[in-house]
Amino acid sequence: MSDKSLIDKPVRRKTLAEQLADTIKDLITSKKLIPGEALPTEPEIAAQFGVSRAVVRDATRILMAWGLVEVQHGKGVYVSQSQNEAFGDALFLALQRNGASVWDIEEFEQLLFPGIVGLASVNATDEEREHIRALAEEHNTVYRQYIEQYWGSKEEPPEASQELLEFSRKFYTAIANATHNKLIQQLAHPLQQLRSLRSWQESEEETLETLVEWEASFINKVLNALQSRDADDARRQMQAMMVLPREAISVMKNTPVGETPLIPLNPREAAQRSK
């Protein structure tokens, strides 16, 4: 047996602040402290755990770094809401720094989304199916209004496209929530934050009505897959409809994450090539 030491340094013991932070973390993760609830005051925590107020302040800083609490000046320390949005922002920044493209997001979605729809097709409640259908109808209405207002326009206000994108995100997030899978539900919002709109170059043959019909057809195919109540069938339907033409993939690969790819095909041509 080798007499070589497995470690060069002794195991570091946790400080009182770290131990206190761990205790409060356990109270939060076990939902004994819920989002929006105020923690006891600094003197109260110090007295309850038999530590100094300096230890409580250090523990609070640790909890803030973990994203579990937030300080509201003049009010106190509160359990923070879900960190999904902050996680999404951090993920987006990491992808930007890594030089990710729109295709990186799309390719990942092509792997993940069919499975999500398949799971939702068997796990969604009747109420959730109705909610998703209502969101789909709302999305189609907003999309039509958007196209009617900015058809042929070379410049669209950012707030208009952002509103459309938010409706799309709500629709797909609702589907993820209908899977009833906790991990998918947690990842749904931050992953949807990475989504961006696509812009298809118009052709002389393309009309406002055909563009609106194409978008509605895409959404309806998602609804039909959900209504199948057959995970394998729903997954196959999604895999088939998410195939993109080579031209679209090429543009997406050269479009930085967060920007809108301008694809040199109109939707009807893309749909035909993806069959």
> At which residue do the structure tokens 């995100």 appear?
169
**What's the rounded mean pLDDT across residues 104-130?**
95
Structure confidence at residue 214 (pLDDT): 82
Supply the DSSP string of 107-122, one letter for each residue. HHHHHHHHHHHHHHHH
Positive/negative CA dihedral, 248, 250, 253, 259: negative
Whether residue 119 contacts residue 184, with contact meaning beta carbons closer than 8 Å, is answered with: yes
pLDDT value for 236: 95
How many residues are recorded in the chain? 275
Give the tokens for residue 165.
């994108």
Neighbour-count burial of 237, counting CB atoms closer than 10 A to its CB (0-12 exposed, 13-18 middle, 19+ buried): buried
Residue 272 — pLDDT band, cuts 50, 70, 90? Answer: very low
Name the band, by pLDDT with cuts 50, 70 and 90, for residue 192: confident
In the predicted structure, residue 205 carries a pLDDT above the cut 70: no
Mean pLDDT over all residues of the chain? 85
Q: What is the rounded distance in angstroms from the CA atom of residue 78 to the CA atom of residue 95?
A: 31
Instruction: Give all domains of the chain, ordered by start, each with its CATH number.
Output: 16-79 (1.10.10.10), 86-273 (1.20.120.530)
What number is the average pLDDT over the span 73-77?
Answer: 89
- What is the arithmetic mean of pLDDT over 242-270? 80
Band (275; pLDDT cuts 50, 70, 90)? very low
Nearest to 219 by CA among 128, 269, 144: 144
pLDDT at 274 over 50: no
Q: How high is the pLDDT of residue 203?
A: 58
Q: Cα separation of 146 and 160, whole Å?
A: 7
Average pLDDT, integer, range 26-45: 92
Query: With pLDDT > 90 as the criterion, what percentage of the chain qualifies?
Result: 49
Q: How buried is 191 (Cβ within 10 angstroms: 0-12 exposed, 13-18 middle, 19+ buried)?
A: buried
Residue % of the chain over a pLDDT of 70? 85
Q: Are 212 and 224 in contact (CB under 8 A)?
A: no
- pLDDT value at residue 259: 87
Each residue of 119-165: pLDDT tens digit?
999 999 999 999 999 999 998 898 888 888 877 666 667 677 777 88
pLDDT over threshold 80, residue 268 = no
pLDDT band, very low/low/confident/very high, at 239 (cuts 50, 70, 90)? very high
Backbone angles phi, psi at 272, to 5 degrees: -65, -40
Measured CA to CA, the distance from residue 39 to residue 45 in angstroms comes to 8
Reported confidence tier of residue 11, pLDDT bands at 50, 70, 90: low
Q: Both tokens of residue 134?
A: 């209502």
Average of per-residue pLDDT across 48-55: 94
List all residues 6 or more positions away from 36 whose beta carbon is below 8 Å from its beta carbon. Answer: 78, 79, 81
* Higher pLDDT pick, 253 / 13: 253
Q: Is the pLDDT of residue 26 over 60?
A: yes
pLDDT for 164 equals 80
Distance CA(103)–CA(254), nearest Å, equals 8
**Mean of the pLDDT values across residues 237-255?**
90
Which span out of 5-19, 60-74, 254-268 was modeled with the highest average pLDDT? 60-74
* pLDDT value for 6: 55
